[in-house]
A and B are shown apart, each in its own frame.
Chain A
Amino acid sequence: MHIVVLAKMVPDPEGPPSSFEVNSAERRVVPRGIPPVINPFDENALEAAIRIKEQVGGTITLLSLGKNLSRAVILKAVAAGADASVLVEDDSLDQALLDSRTTATLLAAALRDLEPFDLVLCGRQASDTNAGVVGLGVAVLLGLPAVTLAQKVEVADGRVVVERVLSDGYEVVECALPALVTVSGEVGDLRYPSLQAIRAAKELPQRVVKAQELGVELPLHPWTETASLQPPSRERRCRLVEADSPAEAGEKLALLLREEKVL
């Protein structure tokens, strides 16, 4: 069983709002004082891959595409349970300039070089684009069947069985391999690697390729354009209830809401 996990590097999405500086003129978000991390849903995807490997055996390749990929971040992810990594990396792969089409096309090309594989796992969406498009794009380009929004992924008898999140529950979908599955947070957090595993991971094979080496004619005409980028306007003026005790504040809040016809 060969599983490829698509893992994107993003500025830590749990950083406070002040750490995402919106540069409207250049239509890009500049992270301030927050480290790069693996997109959380991609970590969930890696965790799902590791569990499958524990069940049925096999190897896991981590595939990441971008500019200036942090080796420390990749190493920690690989150490959690992957066997190799491939980085598609060069200066042209600037997140602010990449659209879903280009990203998916390059990842699909990189995946062709990794054949044969049985399963491609990726995140349900990246925390920066908030798109949820690239995984399915890769599937269409490679002609793979794809199941989205997995809360559980299991492999048996040459098939993958996925619990797919719905708004009022979930459905169980069975799909032929090779396939692509996009993974949701319900799968569970990625395990922490031990220090020993991190040391050992330094010896695992890592290949770094440039976008031009993938045989894709760049630049591709994008299908979407960013016309504007603005910070959200969501601040309100808050009336704080003053009182001598929290209990009194609770009572006063109810009275205030009644007075203001909110209740």
Chain B
Amino acid sequence: MSYRIAIASSDGESVNQHFGQAGNFLIYEVSEGHVDFIEDREVIFDPEIHTQSDANFERVTILLSDCKAVFVLKIGERAIRYLLVNGIKSFAVNFSLNFIFTTLIKRQNSRIKLL
């Protein structure tokens, strides 16, 4: 079974963006034994909408709606809950993308799964 994840990274090597301030999310698809890069999704900031507002959370949630999880450097409690009720788990980590991918591939056949 494959699923998509979003990673807040500006360099494609490590998670280095705060959820609210991330200008883009890298979307990857995790399948049996491998991870494929799908696309780089840009977050269009609206100067009328505050980054901590529900309206902004909703825009980002829609942007990531096909993902099961999002990896960010930091994320606020409200944003965590907003994402969760919309079926997206969030992980505040400072890992490299490589570590995330290898762990998720390893976990696919273990009892401890991301999903």
A binds B: no
